[in-house]
Amino acid sequence: MRLENKIALITGAGAGIGRASALAMAREGAVVAVADIRGDKVDACVSEIEAAGGTAMGIVADVAKLDEIDRMVTSVVDKYGQLDVMYNNAGVTKRSKFMDIDEELWDWVHGVNAKGVFFCIKRAAETMIKQGSGSIINTASIAGRGFPGTSNAAYAASKGAVIALTMQAARALGRYNITVNSICPGVTRTELMQGILDMRHEKEGIPMDELEVQAARGIPIGRINEASDIGEMAVFLASSAARNITGQSINVDGGLIMI
């Protein structure tokens, strides 16, 4: 039980990578606070954890809003008295050509993916500094490393920001025994990915099986990530085994990007 007696808060935990990470951390003994903007997804994830014998609480929150970030973290600390793991996973995107990106799309993507991550790090750190320990994990992306198959340039820029924030936060918080790392998923089978494939199928008329082949093309190991692949990395980074790893952004992508 690598995370026994740890309290973990995961944003965007209603589906995809967040849900897989919540289930994985609960299996390893963590009490998991499941946060998502969609209440029905929160309830379903909490129920799944509890049905498997784990302990969880649900929080409906929009991480693009600072007052909701504060409420989210405060509710966890008030209930459990500590916060050991903060996994900033919530993220949004949609497929868009470079010249079609407008201010509305840019602000939506960066409001969640960059602003939300920074202020979740800051708010979690306030508690972890008092404790003298903590692990902060962010979901970045190989898009932030220049992967050309990204959904759009605004998304890539937001994930590049997460990689930079991870290094800055690691330097600022290391003295308090707080580690800060990011996971950079490659092509991953999630609702978000499925939505992009569905849109391409509808707009471009490409058969779904061909889209799946295209998605896996260029991956040396020849396999698209499952969300659980990211969840297992999150468990590792949250555990004592990673106590001396900080400021890193680790690719989980089958070798698609090797930088």
**Which residues have a catalytic role annotated?**
155
The b-or-e profile of 215-242 (16+ CB within 10 A means b, else e) is beebbeeeebbebbbbbebbbbbbbeeb
Q: With DSSP H G I counted as helix, E B as strand and the rest as coil, what are the percentages for the chain, rounded to 5?
A: 55, 15, 30
Q: Give the H/E segment covering residue 28.
A: none
Alpha helices in the chain (DSSP H): 16-27, 39-51, 66-80, 103-110, 117-131, 153-173, 191-204, 208-216, 227-238
Residue type, 34: V
Chain mean position to CA 61? 15
How far is the CA of 15 from the CAs of 5, 22, 48, in angstroms?
24, 10, 12
**53 dihedral zone (left: phi>0; alpha: psi -120 to 50; beta):** left
Beta bridge partners of 138: 88, 182
Separation between Cα atoms, residue 237 and residue 258, nearest integer Å: 20
Which of 60, 1, 3 lies closest to 33, judged by CA? 60
**132 dihedral zone (left: phi>0; alpha: psi -120 to 50; beta):** left
